[in-house]
Chain A
Amino acid sequence: MRTPDVFRTQAFRIIAIYLAIFALSALALVGFVYWNTALVMDRQNDETIEAEITGLVEQYQRQGLPGLTDVIIGRSVRGDQGLYLLANNDRRVIAGNLDTWPQVQPAENGLVEFAYERRIGGKPELRRARGRTFALTQGFLLLVARDVHERRELEALFTTMLFWGAGLMIVLGLAGGVIVSRNFLARLDVINRTSRQIMHGDLSHRVPVSGAGDEFDDLSGHLNRMLDRIERLLHGMREVSDNVAHDLRSPLNRLRNRLELAAMRQPADSETARDIEAAVQETDRLIATFNALLLIAETEAGSVRESMESLSLDDVIEGVGELYGPLADEKRLHFSVEVPAASAVIRGNRNLITQALANLVDNAIKYTPSGGSVVVSLEHGPTGPALVVADDGPGIPPEERARVTDRFVRLESSRHTPGTGLGLSLVAAVARMHDAELALEDNRPGLRAVLRFRKSEIVPRTAKAMPARAEPRVEEVH
């Protein structure tokens, strides 16, 4: 059996879609919260700086450069997060706790983000700061900033973690999806397997119920109840047809026996004896039709499936060819049997397949006029072996081909030849029972009837058993 692809299951698709939506919304939510928080914190920072600048500018206006310098020196040594720098218009440092004016062009509103060097425990460290520049009168420049190094680092860490987190979520989610799908598949597989067994005619199978009481158990329960019902119906139908068979067979049997007894008492070759003989023949035709119908019904119900065995199709062809060859010769037909080097072994009911091929050959011989030809062959097609009976007789018009396998259908042209009109119906029923296909094709001219099988083993002809029929081939197969 083909292992189903876990990634192609419905469960996996649902999980993948859900995971994608979940990951996107989680990213969006976290991103939104992060972005807003960062924004608020930056704004607070900017507002504090703005306020400080306003204060410092006031100080400058009241006390001039020396006053401002004093305040800046005072604030510079406080050692908190505040960074201050007062420079002249050459950007030379006058006062403050930054060594140089940052080499960054400020934005239009004077906001600037820059890196600076700071000694922590004697070691210089490059850190990030965010602040504002302000041009004082007389060309002096003022910079007020805050160290945002920790925050920026935190932000970077946060972003990294966000992506790692999302990645991990997807990996775990997909792994979960695979596990869930496997589980799902395992249970579906049980249902599929049971269905296949049932389709092969064994209606006694039931889908196992796990007892978990979930949707699968519900489904299995429903399927099983449906199967119970089908089995009951089928059983009822079989019983009815068995009863009909029995009830019709007994009176037919008595009728025939009575006629035969009556014939025994008549002098041979009397008129009554001939009448009785004709009546017996009529009864036999009735019985033949009846038997054919019953056989079709049994074949369609699959009740003959128990007697399936491994059989080689070339044995079947050779046997039927040998049986019908003389009949074709007598009708002056060119009759040939063609069997390829590789033998095809299939599982089937020998009797039914033989009868199906015999029906096809019988039809071909019956409808092909003298001088024509009938070829019976075994072909190896792409899907499996095929039994082919080809003739160059009148064939079947394309519009009639689908209809001729129906019961009792006889073409206008064949009304006057003997037959029950059930031959092809039986072939079609046998084909269905063996998962095979009956195709009626144009042989240009004539009919090409093909019985195509699906599964087979190809056995080299030398390896197969001798086709002798010394022993009855009765093989019980379960």
Chain B
Amino acid sequence: MRILVIEDDIEAQRYLVKGLKEAGHVVDEAGDGDTGLTLALSRPYDVAIVDRMLPKLDGIKLVGAMRDERNMTPVLFLSALSDVDDRIKGLRAGGDDYLTKPYAFAELLARLDALVRRRDPGTVKTKVAVGDLELDLLSRTAKRSGSAIELQPREFRLLEYLMRHAGQIVTRTMLLENVWEYHFDPQTNVIDVHISRLRAKIDKGFEAPLLHTVRGAGYMIRAHA
């Protein structure tokens, strides 16, 4: 995908661009807000990575200007400010996601992926399916190979999130933020326990597992290994 990186820390920008290119993306970069805004408005991008604090034009104002021009490119804020308040400000200004430095590269990639997929024309789905696993979003029921799977409400939400992002890596932080709506570091990997319970329910007794652990990154649900 085409990614615009607006970051004033040259070193960080270099690694970010390099990493994104190695992950197979096409990347343009800008070192300040003004250049960044010009680029964002002149070319179509799938996603923009914007630092919160930029010279010339602050990240928040930049996104505001983009939205004023009806440019709806998804924006992921990068920030050295971890405050919950800053997060809220960033999201309110028109950002689509917010990642605090230092971040794991895998986390960034997973979030970019999720942001871009979210843009797909979102017809209201009532059913999600991965392989022989089916989720009925209206009756809140799950079935694999036709037999019903008993799920707790939270397990259902967890599975729904994973299935809506089928084929994408979903990190633990993304799960904590989107399924539990918590924005903190729970020290112990509580998410892993929830995943292993879910795995026991959907994969146990089936030959091909659907829920995979991606080492050093998170989890992914997909039909074929």
Say whether A associates with B.
yes
- A residues at B contact (CB < 8 Å): 242, 245-246, 249-250, 252-258, 260-261, 263-264, 277, 280, 283-284, 287-288, 291-292, 294-295, 298, 303-304, 306-307, 319, 322-324, 326-327, 330, 349, 351-352, 354-355, 358-359, 362, 365-366, 418-420, 423, 469, 472-474, 476
Assembly CA distance A178 to B12 (angstroms): 69
- Asked whether B119 is an interface residue with its Cβ less than 8 Å from the other chain, the reply is no
Assembly CA distance A310 to B19 (angstroms): 43
Nearest to A330 among chain B residues (CB) is B193
Q: Which 10 pairs between the two chains have the least Cβ-Cβ distance?
A: A253-B102, A257-B15, A260-B105, A355-B184, A252-B102, A326-B193, A246-B80, A249-B80, A253-B101, A249-B101
Total number of residue pairs linking A and B with CB closer than 8 Å: 118
A257 pairs with B183, CB closer than 8 A: no
- Asked whether B188 is an interface residue with its Cβ less than 8 Å from the other chain, the reply is yes
B184 pairs with A423, CB closer than 8 A: no
Nearest to A261 among chain B residues (CB) is B19
- Partner of A366 from B84, B188, B216 at Cβ < 8 Å: B188
B141-177 interface mask toward A, CB cutoff 8 Å, 1 = contact, 0 = none?
0000000000000100000000000000000000000
Q: With A250-B80, A326-B190 given, name 6 new contacts (CB 8 A).
A: A255-B102, A256-B103, A261-B19, A323-B194, A326-B193, A362-B188
- Asked whether B9 is an interface residue with its Cβ less than 8 Å from the other chain, the reply is yes
Whether A362 touches B181, Cβ cut-off 8 Å, given contacts A261-B19, A307-B88, is no
- Asked whether B69 is an interface residue with its Cβ less than 8 Å from the other chain, the reply is no
Contacts of B201 in A (CB 8 A): none
Assembly CA distance A264 to B20 (angstroms): 11
- Partner of B83 from A249, A288, A298 at Cβ < 8 Å: A298
A362 pairs with B101, CB closer than 8 A: no
Contacts of A423 in B (CB 8 A): 187
Contacts of A354 in B (CB 8 A): 182, 184
- Asked whether B185 is an interface residue with its Cβ less than 8 Å from the other chain, the reply is yes
B84 pairs with A307, CB closer than 8 A: yes
Assembly CA distance A295 to B19 (angstroms): 29
Question: What class of interface size applies to chain B in its complex with A?
Answer: 35 or more
- Looking at the assembled complex, report how far the CB atom of A297 sits from the nearest CB atom of chain B, in whole angstroms: 11
Whether A323 touches B19, Cβ cut-off 8 Å, given contacts A249-B101, A254-B11, A256-B104, is no
B185 pairs with A351, CB closer than 8 A: no
Contacts of A242 in B (CB 8 A): 81
A362 pairs with B187, CB closer than 8 A: yes
B193 pairs with A257, CB closer than 8 A: no
Contacts of A256 in B (CB 8 A): 102-105
- Asked whether B82 is an interface residue with its Cβ less than 8 Å from the other chain, the reply is yes
Assembly CA distance A200 to B80 (angstroms): 27
Whether A351 touches B184, Cβ cut-off 8 Å, given contacts A254-B15, A277-B216, A280-B216, is yes
Assembly CA distance A13 to B101 (angstroms): 61
B22 pairs with A264, CB closer than 8 A: yes
B80 pairs with A245, CB closer than 8 A: yes
- Looking at the assembled complex, report how far the CB atom of B203 sits from the nearest CB atom of chain A, in whole angstroms: 17
Nearest to B178 among chain A residues (CB) is A472
- Looking at the assembled complex, report how far the CB atom of A336 sits from the nearest CB atom of chain B, in whole angstroms: 16
B184 pairs with A257, CB closer than 8 A: no
Nearest to A363 among chain B residues (CB) is B187
Assembly CA distance A354 to B12 (angstroms): 33
Can you pick out 25 interface pairs between chain A and chain B where the beta carbons lie within 8 Å of each other?
A245-B81, A245-B82, A249-B101, A250-B101, A253-B102, A254-B11, A254-B15, A256-B104, A256-B105, A257-B19, A261-B19, A277-B216, A291-B100, A298-B82, A306-B85, A319-B182, A323-B180, A323-B182, A326-B193, A351-B182, A351-B183, A355-B182, A355-B184, A418-B188, A476-B88
- Looking at the assembled complex, report how far the CB atom of B104 sits from the nearest CB atom of chain A, in whole angstroms: 7
- Looking at the assembled complex, report how far the CB atom of B186 sits from the nearest CB atom of chain A, in whole angstroms: 6
Contacts of A307 in B (CB 8 A): 84-85, 88
B62-106 interface mask toward A, CB cutoff 8 Å, 1 = contact, 0 = none?
000000000000000000111111001001000000001111111
Whether A323 touches B184, Cβ cut-off 8 Å, given contacts A261-B15, A277-B216, A351-B84, is no
- Asked whether B16 is an interface residue with its Cβ less than 8 Å from the other chain, the reply is yes
Name the interface residues of B1-37: CB closer than 8 Å to any CB of A. 9, 11-12, 15-16, 18-19, 22
- Partner of A327 from B22, B102, B180, B188 at Cβ < 8 Å: B188
